[in-house]
Amino acid sequence: MGTVYRRNEIWHIQYSDGNRRYRESSRSRNKADAERLLRRRLLELDEGISPSVSGRYLTYEDLKQGILKDYKINGRKSIKRLGKLLHHLDKEFGGKKASYITGPRIQAYTERRLAEGAANGTINRELSALRRMFNLAKKSGRLAIVPHIPMLKENNVREGFVEREQFLHLHANLPEYLKPPVMFLYETGFRTSEVYNLTWDRVNQKEGYVRLEPSDTKTGEGRVVYLTSAALSALREAHKRRVLGCPYVFHRNGKQIKDCRKAWNNACIASGLPGLLQHDLRRSCVRNMIRAGIPERVVMQISGHRTRSMLDRYNIVSEQDLREATKKLDSYYSRSRGSRRRA
């Protein structure tokens, strides 16, 4: 079913899948290397892997098209972000065969990105995209082996959060158009995109809840969230400022709020909270709900977290939490000593 032959001191192999004949160089002057390569190719045939799709003819562009198609078919909202991740991979592997992208070359790519100043988390997102590309090709039968793609260690759990008094001070320094949505962010733990894309057809003021449809959320899962009194007050304030023809709950002069970084940063600096992100309000709300004794499964339903591990990253322990823990421990010891004396 296959043979080995020599051409200009280099041994080659020839074999057939019953429909087409294939030739391939072993790139070796040793006949035994060619024989091992032939056995491997014949074994691939036995496993149903066609030589035409075993990876030797697959290119990086083929892998890239595979992941882009997957994102489009599944309606992934992060396809725009994917384009940014692929930008650096394109520069490194564009025009190359999939077989060129080996473990050592991936490691070299990682080292170059680190030298460029890219954060570990950013590089990991790029490598995850590359891994996804290979896994999709393997799943579709276009590739036999996925190279090892090691990830970097990340320490990206932010410590950004605000206590209630800090938040109220910050809120007072915001321009008027930002006060309702920022209060809503802090009270609900919604993602910023969920708040600034919120439309009135999702709001039930009478019953005091917001219904997010699957198309509104990052995870593609809808949820119903009942609102605190402060969140409802923010909605009522927004309703007073409602503009005919504008569907958005929170807006600026009838236009959707898309970029408020300058106003936000100025308010943070004036409040003594430079570097705070609006996303930190989501973290703060999650921690506040857990402090209030709300069950974690309910917190996850309100905030839209899918996994417990993600929730744990948001439940940040502050110095105040540690002080309270020490007080509780002292109180426990005092009660224990009193019980022993009475006995």
Could you write out the DSSP letters of every residue in 88-147?
A: HHHHHHTT-BGGG--HHHHHHHHHHHHHTT--HHHHHHHHHHHHHHHHHHHHTTS-S-PP
Assigned domain for 327 exists: no
33 lies in some domain: yes
pLDDT band at 130 (very low <50, low <70, confident <90, very high): very high
For 254-263, what is each residue's pLDDT tens digit?
999 999 999 9
Q: Do 174 and 314 lie in a common domain?
A: yes
User: What pLDDT does 21 receive?
Assistant: 83
Q: What is the pLDDT of residue 231?
A: 94
Task: Classify residue 195 by burial, with Cβ atoms within 10 Å: 0-12, 13-18, 19+.
Answer: buried
Do 104 and 207 sit in the same domain of this protein? Answer: no
Residue 145 within any structural domain of the chain: no
Q: Is residue 301 part of a domain?
A: yes
Mean pLDDT of 275-302: 88
Q: CB 12: neighbour CB atoms within 10 A? A: 19
Q: Are residues 103 and 195 in the same domain?
A: no
Bigger pLDDT: 214 or 315? 214
Handedness of CA 126, 128, 132, 134 (dihedral sign): positive
Q: Find which of 36-50, 193-207, 212-226, 322-336 is predicted with most confidence, using mean pLDDT.
A: 193-207
Residue 259 lies in a domain: yes
Residues 17 and 82 in one domain: no
- Do 74 and 46 lie in a common domain? no
Question: Which residues pair with residue 209 across a beta bridge?
Answer: 204, 226
- Looking at the structure, do residues 221 and 114 belong to the same domain, yes or no? no
- pLDDT of 26 strictly over 60: yes
d(CA 261, CA 281): 15
Is 156 within the bounds of a domain? no
pTM: predicted TM-score of the whole model, two decimal places: 0.60
Query: How many domains are there within the chain?
Result: 3
**SS3 for 204?**
strand
Tell me the mean pLDDT in the region 117-146: 88
Residue 37 in any domain: the answer is yes
How do residues 38-51 score in pLDDT, each as one tens digit?
888 888 777 666 56
Listed residue (169, 192, 154) closest to 280, CA to CA = 192
pLDDT of residue 198: 96
Answer yes or no: do 187 and 132 share one domain.
no
Q: Has residue 211 been placed in a domain?
A: yes
pLDDT band per the 50, 70, 90 thresholds, residue 53: very low
The range of the structural domain enclosing residue 18 comes to 2-52
Q: Is 78 found in the same domain as 188?
A: no
